[in-house]
Amino acid sequence: MDSSTKVSGPIPDAPILVGIDGSANAEAAMWWAVDLAVALHRPLRLLTCYTLPTIVSLGSAAGFASPLLTSDEVHEIDVRNRTAIEDLRSRILLGHPDLVIETYLDQGSPGAALLKASDDASMIVLGTRGAGGTSALLMGSVSYSVAHRATCPVMLVPETAMRVPGGRVVVGIDGSGPAVAAAKWAVELADGLHRSIDLVTAWHYPYSAMAPEGGMLLGPDIDELRLAMLRDARSLVQRVRKELDQVCDHHVTIESEIIEGSAVDALVEAARPQDILVVGSRSHSVLASVMLGSVATGVAHRSHSPVIVVH
């Protein structure tokens, strides 16, 4: 099977896509996706993928791959995966009978299958640990690769995430265009989920700095620079809050935090396991660049709460 097969269900609007591989973490991510689909009135798309073992020939036939399984064995694997994903669909419908659910089965590269299935998706939801072996869809490397290459927001759900009421949407800001766009998207998400927003920005204490005329800044000069950076951070938060109030028609409570330290440390510290952490994919800001790709990656690897990377 060279292309994905639609197993069941029509999709009227942009769906929320979730990858399934049989692991506990993937199933936990699926239930987060269900919560999002129900709250945001979106269809749900379940996708599972499998690869078949092959032998790559050497010598005169170099480059040619030969299958290790018979056609009957391949058919058995296909049926087993179809049955598993339909069973999950049935379980979801028991609690949410009105939810529109589409299921897809694909054979080949997990990352490629997810990206292909996300062409018309509003969001991708993935666990950060997979089943491993040839059936693994959601191995960490695949999840992070998809998060960097997708064109829609991607939620990465760690094993420590808690699906309990009272969580917030924590948003990293640095004043850049991508960060503000991520914050606007997060407000719409928070509105749909009935959660509050916590805007977080980080700044570094200049333990050493160079004076314009040369030499190191010491004592009062360092303190003055530190206060200036703190004022800049406060001004940034006020500016972003004002912009959100002007462009967003919502009833979301917005709070803010200014945390001293690295961007990754600040965001991981601010978000609890029941929160959702939102970051942009990249930024070019000088002030506490929260949204750089490396920061988004660092947060995704260290966070105890789900992380959504907004592109």
Query: What homologous superfamily is domain 169-310 in, according to CATH?
Result: HUPs (3.40.50.620)
Residue 54, pLDDT score: 61
Query: Of 90, 256, 113, which Cα lies nearest the Cα of 172?
Result: 256
Q: Which of 21-30, 131-140, 224-233 has the highest mean pLDDT?
A: 21-30
The pLDDT tens digits of the residues spanning 257-277 come to: 999 888 999 999 999 999 999
Whether residue 290 contacts residue 161, with contact meaning beta carbons closer than 8 Å, is answered with no
The rounded percent of the chain whose pLDDT value lies above 70 is 77
The rounded percent of the chain whose pLDDT value lies above 90 is 46
Residue 75, pLDDT score: 76
Whether the predicted pLDDT of 214 surpasses 90: no
Average the pLDDT over each of 99-113, 116-130, 214-228 and give the range with the smallest value: 214-228
CA 9, CA 43: separation in Å to the nearest integer? 10
Whether residue 49 contacts residue 106, with contact meaning beta carbons closer than 8 Å, is answered with yes
The pLDDT tens digits of the residues spanning 169-205 come to: 999 998 888 888 899 999 999 999 999 999 999 987 6
CA 308, CA 278: separation in Å to the nearest integer? 5
Residue 206, pLDDT score: 56
CA 44, CA 200: separation in Å to the nearest integer? 30
The pTM (predicted TM-score) of the whole model is 0.81
DSSP classification of residue 290: T
26 band by pLDDT with thresholds 50, 70 and 90: very high
* Better-predicted residue by pLDDT, 20 or 204: 20
Dihedral Cα 283, 270, 207, 224, nearest 10 deg: 90
Residue 291, pLDDT score: 40
Phi, psi (degrees; rounded to nearest 5) at 195: -120, 160
Whether residue 25 contacts residue 127, with contact meaning beta carbons closer than 8 Å, is answered with yes
Q: What's the CATH fold of domain 5-157?
A: Rossmann fold (3.40.50)
How is 79-143 classified by DSSP, letter by letter? Answer: HHHHHHHHHHHHHHHHH-TT--EEEEEEES-HHHHHHHHTTT-SEEEEESS---GGG-S--HHHH
311 band by pLDDT with thresholds 50, 70 and 90: confident
Mean pLDDT over each residue of the chain, to the nearest integer: 81
Whether the predicted pLDDT of 216 surpasses 60: no
- Average pLDDT over every residue of 110-123: 92
Give ranges for CATH 3.40.50.620 in the chain. 5-157, 169-310
User: Which run of H or E residues covers position 191?
Assistant: helix 177-193
79 band by pLDDT with thresholds 50, 70 and 90: confident
Average the pLDDT over each of 148-157, 186-195, 251-260, 286-295 and give the range with the smallest value: 286-295
Average the pLDDT over each of 5-14, 71-80, 146-155 and give the range with the smallest value: 5-14
Which residues, other chains included, contact 60 with Cβ-Cβ below 8 Å and sequence gap of 6+? Answer: none
Q: How far is CA 67 from the centre of its chain?
A: 35
| CA separation, residue 93 to residues 24, 89, 105, 164, 308 (Å) | 19, 6, 19, 20, 25
Sheet containing 44-50, strands listed edge to edge, beginning at the edge strand earlier in sequence: 5-8, 101-107, 44-50, 16-20, 123-127, 154-157, 307-310, 276-280, 169-172, 197-203, 254-260
Residue 64, pLDDT score: 52
Residue 205, pLDDT score: 64
- Average pLDDT over every residue of 36-60: 80
The pLDDT tens digits of the residues spanning 49-72 come to: 887 766 555 554 555 555 676 777
State the amino acid at position 227 in one-letter form.
L
- Average pLDDT over every residue of 149-159: 92
